[in-house]
Amino acid sequence: MSKRGRKLRQVKRRYPIGAEVIGEKETHFRVWAPKAREVGVVLEDGALPTSACSPLTPEPDGYFSGTASAPAGARYRFRINGGKNSYPDPASRFQPQGPHGSSCIVDPTKFPWNDAEWTGVKMKGQIIYEMHIGTFTKQGTWRAAAEQLAELARIGITVIEMMPIAEFPGKFGWGYDGVDLFAPSHLYGTPDDLRAFVDHAHSLGLGVILDVVYNHFGPDGNYLGIFSDDYLVRGKGHDWGDVINFDGPNSGPVREFFVTNGQYWIEEFHFDGFRFDATHAIRDQSDEYIIGAVGRAARKAAGARSIVLIAENDLQEANMARSRSEGGDDLDGMWNDDFHHSAAVALTGRNQAYYADYIGAPQEFISAVKYGFLYQGQATSWRKALRGTPALGIAPEAFVCFIENHDQIANTGPGERLRLQTSPGRYRAMTALLLLGPWTPLLFQGEEFGAASPFLFFAEIGDPPVREAVRKGRAKLLAPFLSVTEEEALKNLPAPDDPRVFAQCKLDFSEREKKRQLYALHIDLLKLRREDSRFRQQIPSGVDGAVLEQASFVLRYFSKDNNDRLLLVNFGENQVLHPASEPLLAPPLGYRWETLWTSDSLRYGGTDAVAIASQEQWFLPGESTVALRPVSARCKERRLGQPSRKT
């Protein structure tokens, strides 16, 4: 065993970097600092005078390590080469005063977990709920958010997807500019508050996955350059900054940093997986792609627990969701922006910017049902490039579909919810398609009850020049969506660093009662998906579809026992099909179709019209989605009652 390996085992460290409590009032520190000749730990909180420095021992490959008398809760910084300044730990477990403050020693073993029986989550059968902790409640804390979990579980949510929480600068932000990737943001509470949130979620049967950003570091509060020049590749950046060095010289410790980060969140906080942000912005030509490496290490850390790993990938590189033996990265799912873009065009008629590559026609939704991504290698007009790779053979649950998420709401400029940009009937019909489709549905916080609150881009980051650069960047991004010049966008868009912008985005849970019809729509759909034998299953090639008219189509969910389902979706006006020559409309032999559910129910604010299949014709009510099931043709003609009005 190498000298480094002996040292790590002697002190019984869990991870190769960071501060770890190893005994009564004793902590072991280890940091990668190849730029330094010497590194010392400056301890605070009475452990040692702030002027005193405990030296660390240099190791091979640029590491420094050592033990000091310091208990959990003590604060510390690293002093480099005996200088006057000292810096927070790049692998700090907690930054009580933000990224510029001192690091805090954390003992994770003291938290009393109650989820020993929790077996984790798998991709099939999940309903994901994206949540931003800072705006989910008025208080903006994990404790306050935990109080709402029981209601989310009651209505049928199964997995919380938490937007990034790694420590970031400022008093508010989306979290995608994190700089201390091991430290849960002090803005939302303590590390144990986060553990309590996850523990409580598990007690309710809810999984929790974490949105992690491994494609860049934020520009403010990032002290990595003090310790090493090899974390980043300078001059080869993207819109968010320099790319991370995953495959260049001295990239081994950098990769170790991120692989360790994935293990850490799974082991010490019991997360049930990750959503990997913007993987298309990661540069890595290594034999083992870093996201695959992190995912495999995370699964190993989870042990017997099942976790899910989901990628956001603008290039739609479908192999990410294939096994490594098939040349993939062993992930479980990918966000499907294609579905959202088609839905947005169908609902609003908007076709600016990247929406120009979609028409919102019935065939797009049928193709999404059958094949997942719409673009699997075809040309796009917006980027003037080929987009996507073949996704044939990938399970339907691997595609995460949505009509709202944090990006897409904010990209409207005013942060307006999609339901406010279309008619109520058409929105109900699209919601039904989302929640009954064979993919994995995702809802964004408040969507389930029709939240009126916008979701704008907000970030209190850096000094005035940095904030101005952020404003200009947003204006450049959104100008095409708004059909205005960059100058007009810069003038009219809300300032991201304005506290009032952040405050506007907080949810008001009294809207659950005020908008009971929309809330009931979501609750009933989630129940129907959960309890119906066909909508519940996500069988490859188990659904076929056909275009009926310009704005309508049918989906047929097949079974082996004459228990098929039809989903009739009509985004247009009332339609009469005569003749009705589409064979998917034909009932099983000896059966007829009966209405199971309709989005146009009075219960949801509709007109109570239903699809009617008579001997002469088919009638499709306008702006509605109707689910039908087969019943024996010998049964007395009747109409199935609407779902219970109780929720």
524 included as an active-site residue: no
Q: For position 4, what pLDDT does the model report? A: 44
Write down the residue that tokens 């959202």 correspond to: 340
| Phi/psi of residue 618, nearest 5 degrees | -105, 140
646 falls in which pLDDT band (50, 70, 90)? very low
**Strand partners for 591:** 632
pLDDT at 190 over 50: yes
Q: What is the mean pLDDT of the segment spanning 400-410?
A: 97
pLDDT at site 442: 98
Give the angle 231-236-238 at the CA atoms, nearest 5°: 100
d(CA 345, CA 349): 5
437 token code pair:
């489709």
Residue 219 is predicted with a pLDDT of: 86
Domains and CATH numbers, the chain: 3-109 (2.60.40.10), 545-632 (2.60.40.1180)
Instruction: With beta carbons less than 8 A apart as the criterion, state whether 331 and 311 touch.
Output: yes
Phi and psi at 29, nearest 5°, equal -115, 140
- Span 297-353, pLDDT tens digits: 999 999 999 999 999 999 999 999 999 999 999 999 999 999 999 999 999 998 999
C-alpha closest to that of 29 among 49, 52, 7, 61: 7
pLDDT: is 327 or 642 the higher one?
327
Three-state secondary structure readout of 572-602? CCCEEECCCCCHHHCCCCCEEEEEEEECCCH
Band of pLDDT at residue 2, cut at 50, 70 and 90: very low
Rounded-to-integer distance, Cα 75 and Cα 286, Å: 37
The pair of structure tokens assigned to 387 is 């987009």
Q: Is the pLDDT of residue 52 over 90?
A: no
Region 31-56 average pLDDT:
86
Residue among 20, 211, 268, 277 flagged as catalytic: 277
> At 43, phi and psi to the nearest 5?
-100, 145
pLDDT tens-digit series, residues 352-383: 999 999 999 999 999 999 999 999 999 999 98
pLDDT of 412: 84
Q: What is the pLDDT of residue 481?
A: 81
340's enclosing H/E stretch is: helix 337-348
Reported confidence tier of residue 236, pLDDT bands at 50, 70, 90: confident
Average confidence (pLDDT) over 469-487: 85
Cβ count near 632 (within 10 Å): 12
Where do the DSSP E strands lie in 169-305? 180-184, 207-212, 232-238, 241-244, 273-276
3-state secondary structure 187-218: HHCCHHHHHHHHHHHHHCCCEEEEEECCCCCC
Predicted local confidence at residue 429, as pLDDT: 98
Rounded Cα gap, residues 142 and 197, in angstroms: 6
Instruction: Find out whether 554 and 568 touch, Cβ atoms under 8 Å.
Output: yes
Secondary structure (3-state) at 294: helix
Determine which one of 89, 192, 312, 397 is catalytic: 312
Identity of the residue numbered 178: G
Residue 426 has pLDDT above 60, yes or no: yes
Task: For residue 238, list its beta bridge partners.
Answer: 241
Q: What is the mean pLDDT of residues 239-262?
A: 94
pLDDT tens by residue, 599-636: 999 999 999 998 888 888 899 999 999 999 999 987 65
Residue with tokens 């409580």: 200
Mean pLDDT value of segment 398-417:
94
HEC assignment per residue over 439-454: CEEEEECCHHHCCCCC
Side-chain half-sphere exposure of 371, counting CA atoms within 13 A: 16
293 in Cβ contact with 301 (< 8 Å): no
Give catalytic status of residue 44 as yes or no. no
Going across the sheet that includes 591-598, the strands are 543-549, 552-557, 565-570, 624-632, 591-598
CA-closest candidate to residue 262, choices 223, 303, 228, 299: 299
Q: Are 141 and 133 in contact (CB under 8 A)?
A: yes
What is the reported pLDDT for 148? 98
pLDDT band at 413 (very low <50, low <70, confident <90, very high): confident
- Residues 3-31 pLDDT 10s: 444 444 467 899 999 999 999 899 999 99
Q: Which two tokens stand for residue 296?
A: 């495999």
Q: Give the pLDDT of residue 187.
A: 98
Q: Is the confidence at residue 106, as pLDDT, over 70?
A: yes
What's the whole-number average pLDDT of the chain? 93
Give 3-state DSSP helix, strand, coil % of the chain, rounded to 5: 30, 20, 45
Amino acid identity, position 401 = C
Residue listed under structure tokens 């929720």: 647
The answer to whether the beta carbons of residues 523 and 647 sit under 8 Å apart is: yes
Q: DSSP for 112-159? A: ----TT--B--STT--EEEE-HHHHSSS-SHHHHHTTHHHHHHHT--E
Q: What's the rounded mean pLDDT across residues 458-487?
A: 85
The least confident of 110-114, 223-227, 410-414, 580-584 is: 410-414
Burial class (CB in 10 A: 0-12, 13-18, 19+), 178: buried
Q: Which one is predicted more confidently, 341 or 647?
A: 341
pLDDT reported for residue 59: 96
Range with the lowest mean pLDDT among 112-116, 126-130, 150-154, 219-223? 219-223
